[in-house]
Amino acid sequence: MESLIFQTIWVPGLAGLIALILVRVRGAEGFLDWVRKLLTLVVSAYVIYLGWRLLGAEGTVANLGTVTLGNLSTRVLFSVTHLGAIMVLFTGIFAFLSTIFSARYRAGAFH
């Protein structure tokens, strides 16, 4: 595997080159729209993955730390239930499908 310095130079450099090509080909607005769609799809796919993983973790309790306000302090606990996992999964699926269908609608696929 390459060294870390090689990755830190070439990965952003390649991303910048791709960005310059896309701005040149599609214009700045087209590039920003493409980046927005890509980020939305990546985040919604991760939320779907998170929801799927939470479905198998019924009853798990995660300690998120302690919140302190003056002399008072309390622990913040996160408990996984099936309903919560299904809600996270539905949110990811809705975001994914709405991004795909809005892009297809703007491209004229439904006319």
Domain boundaries, the chain: 11-101
**The residue to which tokens 């214009």 are assigned:** 27
At 53, which amino acid appears?
Answer: R
pLDDT tens string, the chain, 111 residues long: the values are 456 555 567 777 777 888 888 778 877 777 777 778 888 888 888 888 888 888 888 788 877 788 888 888 888 887 888 888 889 889 989 988 888 888 666 666 554
Report d(CA 11, CA 4) in Å as an integer: 11
Report d(CA 93, CA 79) in Å as an integer: 22
Report d(CA 80, CA 76) in Å as an integer: 13
Residue 81 belongs to what H/E stretch? Answer: none
pTM of the model: 0.59
Which tokens go with 31? Answer: 């590039």
